[in-house]
Structure 1
Amino acid sequence: MRYIFLFLLLIAPGSALAHASEQGFVLLLPTNAYIAAGVATVALTVLLLARVPARAALGIFRPLLLCRRHGLPLHHVSSCTAALVLGALIWIGLTGSRDPLTNPLPLFVWTVWWIGLVALQGAIGDHWRWTNPWTGPAAVLSHVTEMRPLFRYPVFLGYGPGIAIFFSFALLLLADPAPADPARLALFAGGYWYATLLGVVLFGPRWLIRAEALTILMRSYASVSMLGRKGQHLAAGLPGWKIMARPRTSLGLALFMLILLGTGSFDGLNETFWWLGKLGLNPLEFPGRSAVVTPTILGLIAANIALVVVFGTSIWLGLVVARSNMGLTLAFCLFAPSILPIALGYHVAHYLTSFMVDGQYALKAASDPMTTGADLLGLGQFYVTTGFFNTPGTVRTIWLTQAGAVVAGHVIAILLAHGLALKAFGDHRRAALSQAPLAAFMVLYTFFGLWLLASPRGL
């Protein structure tokens, strides 16, 4: 019966934000062997690092200078363009089709931006400098009115507003009964854009850096991207090389980074048969998102608290084992960025199948944004396909790509954490000892992430 249900899910029409799934075939794959291999790869990385000379462990994060940067001040122009595109999408969201699979606003927000552009930001480089829809309009407004920020951003707030806003964003994504409804999403997006611009006018650019959750998210992921700036040059290196070159992060930003991972992990957990069973629900007769709003909110809070506690405990145990007098808060802030590759890897793995399907709908919507029969992109007779979910070979390739993203994220995280420990302690033995509990945590989290990918889902 379970396999019949999963097969019906494969052939049934989806909706925006519905995670396209190949679970019917995944359950037939030797996922236990794949999971064991992934965990063994991460564990082997830990063992090898204990024998690698410190110079070599630090050398892998040395970037390669590519070319000299030419600082053309065009980012405000592209930012204003992004704001105009967002405005057009909001207008279409309010006036266009109410179908989230044809209206371009929900497809852009949840597929192009949340899946595609966030992954691109972390994997390749900082495009947010050019696509941020607030910096350009704020610069134009400041130039026209010659008005300076009215207030100084309160230091005591730190990253608190950004954390609260990101958590609200996560609740919209996971708990709202209809996050892809075009008109409601248009009101959310338009109101948030205006409120953020008002914040920049009142408090200056620091509002974006400390209180605007999407900018904090993008800046965090940019720190683990391969491309970046080093002095006057464009440089490329192993993900995390920019973190190695920067000073320790603040406690608020460290907590934000942990919440990125906790939220992403719970986004996968709350779809599993295991979670629905804990709620006393039959996954084959799921009553709808409105029936699990409260458990989703409580689960999201509990997942993030648990992750922070376990991560903090791992850091504390490492300090004890290494007999270090470094404060726990200092160490927590030092090693928190090493979590980012794991969060990014799971983001890519979790949303890959959704992007493969909903990305096609987004392409169609871009070609005909007002559903008038236009073909702006010249797609012709383009039909959305899910055929790659119907054969074992393609499903195996997709699943191994997802598993590879998870494992690669954990391997890079272990390398990064070890490099940060070497810089902090200066001694190879103490660095390795301090990382033992954190490395064990990352190995176990590898198993958890791969288990999530392989688990049957009920949503």
Structure 2
Amino acid sequence: MRVIALSGICLALMAGTLWAHASEQGFVLLLPTDVYIAAGGVTVALTVVLLAVLPGGLAEALFRPAPVPWMRPRVRHAASVLAALLLGWLVWRGLAGTRDPLVNPLPLVIWVVFWIGLVSAQGLWGDLWRGINPWTGPAAIMRRITGWRAPLRYPRRAGHWSGVLGLLGFAGFLLADPAPADPGRLAMAVGLYWCAMLVGLLAFGPAWLLRAEAVTVLMRAYARMGIAGRAGGRLALGLPGWQVLAAPKAGAGLAVFILVMLGSGSFDGLNETFWWLGVLGLNPLEFPGRSAVVLPNLLGLMAANAALVAAFAACLWLGERIAGGQASLRALFCFYAPTILPIALAYHIAHYLTAFLVDGQYVLAALSNALGLGHVHVTTGFLNTPGPVRLIWLGQAGVVVAGHVIAILLAHALAMRTGRGARRAVLGQAPLAAFMIAYTVFGLWLLAAPRGA
């Protein structure tokens, strides 16, 4: 039932899909998940051991990109304007169209195409969002027609903290709202958010999007994980994460934003488990509905993010003390926070894989109907047999383990830049590596845990 938080479908609406995901989770519980989880933790641990004995510069050498020839399109703002027009049409359909979120195009585009598909593609490939951002084109047209210039300067000290609040608001809507996929409710939220961010952009200029608009900040952060980016003014390709090493050090607000990306994604899985429902004193087999857990889920979201930030900071502080360094905790936090991005992206992909396989079919069905191409049969039959479920689970587990391995490699490469030598770098990274191993096991447990919400 892990897709419920993503697609936000009310219980009475999706009897077939709910059964499919319950069946899939039941098969997962029959797999030797304890063996897979242990193997994942051991794999990450072996990565740490290898880094201790291999040449010190190996990790950074792995992430060195290679330039490729590329002709950059010269069309400016056209895709952004089209994206804004599409978004306006989707909001109208959310308000005036069918109330079925599996038929209405607004929930399908927002929760499946954007939140699963585009966010994952952004992290795997590179900065796709820059061209289709739905604010830059309309703002450019307004400036050209009216001669408008931003009257205010975005406060430098504000950093990315407004973006952090926006991300927490988005996560709260996704996880705690009683019906985040209801077309009418979603249309109001999307429409008001788009208008508010356009006002901010016109008032403060591009800095507003880069620091205060949560979706753009999130997409730019995930773009650092893409294999495609720019190096030396040219397009370059490299291993996932090479842009993390090439990017400037994050500020405090962006560093916290990255941790909140992971913390919110993790709680997105945790809040559905039998364990969490047990904490709330609820019978998972008689779940009273999302409206009954709004406040507990909001408090849990805040607590999960606070605990993650505190644990990450504690590991950095302890590692610095072990290595005999004198760097401040703030500097360490900003320096190493981007290495969490591979874990956040990996869990995002793994957590929503099943949702994409099922709800993606509804997207195809809606598109086919709109184009007059005929009926598309939606099936969840592949979730009712052990073979496909085993492949899905192994794929999810593999993605999570790969994300943690990349995170450890990035952290080691950054540690080597401090010039302390391989031995002190490994010592300093020991607590953070232990944290990442523990989080690997935790992430795999989340994927396999029984769910009741």
SS of residue matched to 2:330: helix
CA distance in 1, matches of 2:147, 2:23: 53
**Residue 398 of structure 2 is aligned to residue 404 of structure 1:** yes
Partner of 1:102: 103
Residues 25-104 of structure 1 mapped to structure 2, 5 A cutoff: 25-67=27-69, 69-104=70-105
Q: Which amino acid aligns with 2:16?
A: P
**Residue 16 of structure 2 is aligned to residue 13 of structure 1:** yes
Post-superposition shift, 1:366? 2.5
Residue in structure 2 matching 1:425, options 419, 424, 435: 419
Instruction: Tell which deviates more after alignment, 114-123 or 52-61.
Output: 52-61
CA distance in 2, matches of 1:20, 1:358: 15
CA distance in 1, matches of 2:285, 2:343: 31
CA distance in 1, matches of 2:324, 2:340: 23
Q: Which amino acid aligns with 2:106?
A: L
Q: Which amino acid aligns with 1:83?
A: A
Partner of 1:160: 161
Residues 18-417 of structure 1 mapped to structure 2, 5 A cutoff: 22-67=24-69, 69-368=70-369, 375-376=370-371, 378=373, 380-417=374-411
Partner of 1:3: none
SS of residue matched to 1:381: coil
Partner of 2:3: none
Unaligned runs of 5+ in 2: 1-10
CA distance in 1, matches of 2:75, 2:303: 43
TM-score by length of 1: 0.93
Post-superposition shift, 1:377? 5.7
CA distance in 2, matches of 1:176, 1:200: 27
Unaligned runs of 5+ in 1: 1-7, 369-374
1:402 to 1:139, Cα distance in 2 relative to 1, 3 A: same
SS of residue matched to 1:14: helix
CA distance in 1, matches of 2:306, 2:389: 34
TM-score by length of 2: 0.95
SS of residue matched to 1:187: helix
| Superposed CA offset, 1:278-336 (max 9, x none) | 11101000000000011101100100000000000000011001101111111110000
Post-superposition shift, 1:381? 3.0
CA distance in 1, matches of 2:157, 2:321: 31
CA distance in 2, matches of 1:127, 1:183: 28
Alpha carbons 1:21, 1:353 under 8 Å: kept: no
Paired residues, number: 441
1:21 to 1:212, Cα distance in 2 relative to 1, 3 A: farther
Partner of 1:4: none
CA distance in 1, matches of 2:313, 2:191: 38
Alpha carbons 1:20, 1:354 under 8 Å: kept: no
Post-superposition shift, 1:75? 4.1
Post-superposition shift, 1:19? 6.6
1:45 to 1:36, Cα distance in 2 relative to 1, 3 A: same
Post-superposition shift, 1:392? 0.6
Q: Which amino acid aligns with 1:43?
A: A
Alpha carbons 1:421, 1:435 under 8 Å: kept: yes
SS of residue matched to 1:118: helix
CA distance in 1, matches of 2:384, 2:48: 38
CA distance in 1, matches of 2:408, 2:416: 12
